[in-house]
């Protein structure tokens, strides 16, 4: 038997600020913190604040020196799995971000953005 929690219908929770839709009131409340600036979760060690408890939990690992994600190629260690992607892309030569003008490729999107600014004459580091 399916319950209301088993099926997701169309989103019905909408932000007033930008009109983004969410399935649940909880998701909406969590997202609205990006507009309100509310950061209710604070690190008791350094005072840094976060919009989500999970982000604080990951941050706390940095104070404890816990790094569970280790690169198999260079032994670099990270406290977030997402941070492990960068060295793995470098070791494998994966460069998914390509310049539309000259076809040069980059591992990180930010490097492509900086490169692209060179093409359009925007040089922020002068």
Q: Does some domain include residue 106?
A: yes
Q: Does some domain include residue 46?
A: no
For the segment 28-78, what is each residue's pLDDT rounded down to a tens digit?
A: 998 999 899 999 999 999 999 999 999 999 899 889 988 889 998 888 998
Ordered alpha helix ranges (H), the chain: 25-36, 53-64, 81-92, 109-120
Give the strand pairing for 77-78 and 105-106.
unpaired
Q: Does some domain include residue 102?
A: yes
Q: Does some domain include residue 58?
A: no
116 with 99: CB under 8 angstroms?
yes
Rounded distance between C-alpha atoms, residue 112 and residue 105, angstroms: 7
Give the residue numbers spanning the domain of 122.
Answer: 95-126
Q: Does some domain include residue 48?
A: no
Indicate the number of domains in the chain. Answer: 1
Q: Does some domain include residue 116?
A: yes
Coil, helix or strand at residue 80: coil
For the segment 80-96, what is each residue's pLDDT rounded down to a tens digit?
A: 888 888 888 889 999 99
Q: Does some domain include residue 125?
A: yes
| pTM: predicted TM-score of the whole model, two decimal places | 0.56
Q: Does some domain include residue 71?
A: no
Candidates 96, 117, 124; CA nearest to 108 is: 96
């Amino acid at each position: 038997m399916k319950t209301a929690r088993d099926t997701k219908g169309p989103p019905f929770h909408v932000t007033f600020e930008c009109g983004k839709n969410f399935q649940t009131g909880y998701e909406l409340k969590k997202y609205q913190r990006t507009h309100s600036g509310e950061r209710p979760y604070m690190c008791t060690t350094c005072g840094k604040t976060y919009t989500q408890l999970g982000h604080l939990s990951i941050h706390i690992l940095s104070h404890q020196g816990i790094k569970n994600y280790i690169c198999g190629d260079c032994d670099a260690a990270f406290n977030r799995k997402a941070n492990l992607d960068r060295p793995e892309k470098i070791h494998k030569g994966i460069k998914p971000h390509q310049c539309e003008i000259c076809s040069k490729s980059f591992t990180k999107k930010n490097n492509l953005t900086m490169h692209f600014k060179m093409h359009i004459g925007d040089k922020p580091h002068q």
